[in-house]
């Protein structure tokens, strides 16, 4: 197995664990999550939407039923993580680190997906494709 495939699968697995773990925490610790959302200025109704997104995005990426759907999941994760980092930085609560780590994992996973998956994404820069890279 090439280094690129190993990097892809490790980063993708860790990213999915972060997202699915977040969904589980949102479900099992809802009152605490609602309090945390209020602390950063977000309404609690977003929690239900984020539970769905935190489950659907990893499923879309891992199943790769559609490259477009997988890329859309990456885009959703990207914006979600940017907003999470921004919310925590603006609240000054220091809780941005997990989102920052997940953002790095998401970027690595996205950029290395063409090295490990069939049906390459047209949105990955050419230098990260299997034919042009030696990761």
Q: What is the pLDDT of residue 133?
A: 47
pLDDT per position as a tens digit, 74-127: 999 999 999 999 988 988 888 899 999 999 999 999 999 998 888 888 888 887
H helices of 30-128, in order, are 30-40, 46-63, 67-91, 97-116
Q: What is the pLDDT of residue 17?
A: 97
Q: What is the mean pLDDT of residues 53-74?
A: 95
Burial class of residue 109, CB neighbours in 10 A (0-12, 13-18, 19+): buried
Please count the residues of the chain.
Answer: 135
Q: What is the mean pLDDT of residues 62-80?
A: 95
Q: What is the pLDDT of residue 56?
A: 97
- What string of DSSP letters covers 61-79? HHH-S-HHHHHHHHHHHHH
Phi-psi map region of 122: left, alpha, beta (phi>0 left; psi -120 to 50 alpha): alpha
Q: What is the mean pLDDT of residues 36-65?
A: 93
pTM of the model: 0.88
Listed residue (76, 85, 79) closest to 55, CA to CA: 76
Phi-psi map region of 119: left, alpha, beta (phi>0 left; psi -120 to 50 alpha): left
């Amino acid at each position: 197995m090439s280094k690129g495939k190993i990097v892809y699968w490790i980063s993708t697995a860790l990213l999915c664990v972060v997202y699915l773990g977040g969904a589980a925490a949102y479900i099992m610790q809802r009152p605490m999550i609602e309090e945390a959302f209020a602390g950063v200025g977000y309404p609690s109704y977003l929690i239900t939407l984020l539970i769905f997104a935190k489950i659907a995005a990893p499923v879309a990426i891992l199943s790769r039923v559609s490259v477009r759907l997988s890329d859309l999941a990456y885009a959703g994760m990207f914006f979600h993580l940017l907003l999470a980092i921004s919310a925590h930085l603006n609240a000054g609560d220091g809780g941005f680190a997990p989102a920052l780590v997940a953002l790095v994992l998401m970027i690595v996973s996205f950029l290395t997906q063409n090295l490990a998956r069939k049906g390459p994404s047209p949105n990955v820069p050419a230098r990260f494709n299997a034919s042009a890279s030696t990761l």
